[in-house]
Chains A and B, each alone.
Chain A
């Protein structure tokens, strides 16, 4: 149980184009989904937290107009990198949580990640 998928697994795009990454919880309802970015040999950097049906909460320094997040259903969240540039090249990982427990997020289940390369 608790499987999260991401699509695509790898994407190469030209500078200036937009790229959409999908994150799906396959066997549970994810009330909260998270989007992370990871650079080589570095830890996961939280970009934003999204709850189903409401606007995402972005971390400080993350441009909300550049990284559009939609969490339209309990099993799907999307991250769109708009007007991508080479510096946006990175490994993007989503995770999903089934809910709150006493105000805290319980275990996050991660997707396999999406490698984005912007030329």
Chain B
């Protein structure tokens, strides 16, 4: 069966460190993968999109990698700040459909 797994229910890191979040999937062949941020009681906010033929994408302090052989995407936040605390969702896109993972809650400790 198809499955999207994001590491840990919660991830705590110290301010200034790099946070690394994982998204693993099975039985999918996504054309692209997206990362979203969701704050409590709010809708998700789009962060980055990476296509199947791209290895890495960067945007300011954010970096996403996509390994279709390992069926894994890594999401990095460098120089993390308390304001980065939120739940981060990965989403896999296949033809006509996007499926979301359960999310990883990130807590950046001052």
Contacts and interface: CB of A to CB of B under 8 A. Distances in A.
Contacts, number: 50
A45 B99 CA distance: 8
B98 A105 contact: yes
Interface stretch (B14-22, B43-51, B58-66, B74-82): B43-51
The 4 closest A-B pairs by CB, nearest first: A110-B43, A43-B102, A44-B100, A43-B100
Interface of A: 4, 6, 34, 42-44, 46, 49, 91, 93, 95, 103-105, 107-113, 115
Contacts of B99: 46
16 contacts: A6-B43, A43-B102, A43-B103, A44-B89, A44-B100, A46-B99, A93-B44, A104-B31, A104-B32, A104-B94, A108-B46, A111-B43, A112-B42, A113-B41, A113-B43, A115-B41
A15 to B, nearest CB: 23
